Amino acid sequence: MSEILGFAFMQRALIAGALIGAVCAVVGVFVVLRGLSFIGAGIAHASFGGVALGFLLGVNPTWTAVAFCLATAWGIAAVTRKARVREDTAVGIFFASTMALGILFIGLMRGYNVDLFGFLFGSILAVMPEDLWITLGMGVVVLALVMALSKELLFITFDPEAAEVTGLPASRLYFLLIGLIALAVVLSIKVVGIVLVSALLVTPAAAAYQLTEDFGRMMRLSVAIGVGSVEAGLLLSYLLNTASGATIVVLTTLVFFVAAAVSPRRRRLGSSAGRLGGRG
């Protein structure tokens, strides 16, 4: 194991994985509590269009994916708010259109065959120093915003109408939250890929939600599960010579099922149902 950690590419992968696992776990708490999992999946697939646009323009696809995902996220939010369309309907519209744009962009690249496999399924072992600095910069921005506005974001998560009445800019905070989800999605593409990124965003927080109802404890557990799953999955994939993104997601999912099996919430619901049945 020690010789594995001596490789520069593995060191970069572990650092990037820890940061991305923490970012997704923190943002994922709000995703799970607010019920925005489908939006996360929609934004993840929208990033395909941004990546393809980057290759078409000959620029770093990470930056075009950021712009594309932010535009998609805020487009979903705007359509939901302004047109009075359900969130799942808006996501469905943008989901299909952005994927179609990605295919069109690829078709416009005449004579150039782009290998999108790493973006679709993750290539964390191929993280370069430039990727690491980009991840560090965006990750710090996301975590700093969440820490600074955690109470406000929590308020609009549970009761946006009451937040608006008390004077909070609930609409702007909602757009900010959607933007943070978009940034977390872009960061995760290198780790698990476009196809699996929503799992890294949702599953650690969902597992933590099974274990506690306290927001602070849920946040800490989500980070521990997210970072631990990414790091353990990365090392396990190297040892077993398996796809890193898929290994990380499978391991995270196993953690969720274990958390669900020992969940205090499930036991309370079971005992409550038993008491009601006894009274009947």
**Mind listing the pLDDT tens digit for each residue in 52-106?**
888 888 888 888 888 888 998 888 888 877 767 777 788 888 878 888 888 888 8
Alpha carbons 105 and 52: distance in angstroms, whole number: 6
CATH code given to domain 2-274: 1.10.3470.10
Q: Structural domain boundaries of the chain?
A: 2-274
pLDDT, tens digit, for every residue of 179-221?
998 898 888 887 777 777 888 889 999 999 999 888 889 999 9
Report the amino acid identity of residue 147: M
Three-state DSSP class for residue 18: helix
Q: Give the alpha-carbon dihedral of 96, 99, 103, 106, to 10 degrees.
A: 160
User: Residue 272: pLDDT above 50?
Assistant: no
Q: Is the four-CA dihedral 4, 6, 8, 10 of positive or negative sign?
A: positive
Q: Give the alpha-carbon dihedral of 41, 119, 201, 80, to 10 degrees.
A: -30
Alpha carbons 65 and 51: distance in angstroms, whole number: 5
User: Residue 278: pLDDT above 70?
Assistant: no
- For 256, the token pair is 């969720």
Q: How far is CA 37 from CA 42, 144, 185, 208, in A?
A: 9, 22, 12, 15
pLDDT, tens digit, for every residue of 116-154?
666 777 777 777 888 788 888 888 999 999 999 888 888
Average of pLDDT values for 29-47?
84
- Mean of per-residue pLDDT scores for the chain: 82
- Of the chain, the percentage scoring pLDDT greater than 90 comes to 18
